[in-house]
Amino acid sequence: MKTIEIKKLNDKETTLDLIKLSLNYPTKEGFYLKEMKLRLRVDKAIEKIKDNKLELEDSDFETLKKCINSMRWASRNKELIEFLEMFE
């Protein structure tokens, strides 16, 4: 089990926004059914967030890690780098 603390990045965004963005970011080929189902498991865990903590099974964390690491980001800042380092 992995726990991810949801933090504010700036006045408008949180790390949860980045997580959702990465889950919706398609691979080059688009989404296959298997990939959709894996990402949906993470979405279901998001619905259960308590006290700004996202609890993920190890396999769901690996799915999210794959999504985060496949993203290409349009900006760079300290908070984004700290967020991304959780998934190295």
For residue range 55-69, list pLDDT tens digits in order: 999 999 999 999 999
Q: At a CB cut-off of 8 Å and minimum separation 6, what does 55 contact?
A: 1, 2, 3, 45, 48
Read off the pLDDT band of 45 (50, 70, 90): very high
Domain boundaries, the chain: 2-85
Closest CA to 70 of 45, 46, 38: 38
Q: In the prediction, which pLDDT does 18 show?
A: 95
Q: Which tens digit of pLDDT belongs to each residue from 2-25?
A: 999 999 988 889 999 999 999 999
Tell me phi and psi for residue 72, to 5 degrees.
-115, 130
The proportion of the chain whose per-residue pLDDT surpasses 70, expressed as a percent, equals 100
**Amino acid identity at 55:** E
